[in-house]
Amino acid sequence: MVSRVDVPKGGFNFDNYQRNLILQEKGFSLPKPTKTGTTIVGTKFKNGVVLGADTRATGDTTVMDKNCFKIHYLAPNIYGCGAGTAADTDKITKMVASQLELHRLATGRESRVATALTALTQFLFRYQGHLGAALVLGGVDVDGPHLFSVSPHGSTDKLPYLCQGSGSLAAISIFESQWRENMERDEAIELVKEAIKAGIFNDMGSGSSVDVAVIEKGRAEVCRGMEVPYPTIQKVDSYKFKPGTTAILSESFRNFVTITEGDAMDIS
């Protein structure tokens, strides 16, 4: 018996259109996309890379976590900021970090940013965008500082400054107007902080505080809560009001008949 495999034709595929109609006829709701919110950025400076992220994790319109850590460790000289689904970015970066650790043990050499980039892109492309992980990857290796963006489908881009997430439009405006080549370390940190704050102030999915990672040759520093754009204001007074705070305009008293148990009520 010879089995025959039909070669798929080119062009668009509308097979799911009939499936969606059947789901609606049976009373099922159609799958809906999940709205996420984040602002992550990265920039190169004279001697390294600075990464930044906000700390708000949202589920649609609900703030799930006010102190979510979005700067993920990949290697001692490589870090990545994650946007999209928090669980996907966390697990993917941990898997790649373990692969890089095994590679360092086998070769006895420092991990290269291109190696981490290849591992991430191959893993994400395998799932065709169904893993909601968009990353800003930065690090310093033998070839100098590197900065890449990785989309959920596995495509990449290499630029001197990058923004991802729902607050990226506000953040990129800061870079477009203030970024310059060969910045000093402190200048790059301040620029990243301003970009993250722009995302926090202009995007409802971004908020809380600013996390920053500075990667240079031979060292990496991660600073949690480097800046809180709008700190929590303590209550000045309590909600217990003293008697007489609200003025009484008029008083009225009425006499009500109390019916004790056993008395018959006239309902005629």
Catalytically active residues are 38
The angle at the Cα of 121, spanning 120 to 123, to the nearest 5 degrees, equals: 65
Residue (of 199, 230, 166) closest to 54 by Cα position: 199
- What is the DSSP secondary-structure string of the chain? -----PPPPSS---HHHHHHHHHHHTTPPPP-PPP----EEEEE-SSEEEEEEE--EEETTEEEESS---EEEEETTEEEEEEE-HHHHHHHHHHHHHHHHHHHHHH-SPPPHHHHHHHHHHHHHHTTT-S-EEEEEEEEETTEEEEEEE-TTS-EEE-SEEEESTTHHHHHHHHHHH--TT--HHHHHHHHHHHHHHHHHH-TT--S-EEEEEEETTEEEEEEEEE-SSPPPPPSS-S-PPTTSSPP--------PPPPTTPPP---
Residue (of 143, 90, 155) closest to 112 by Cα position: 143
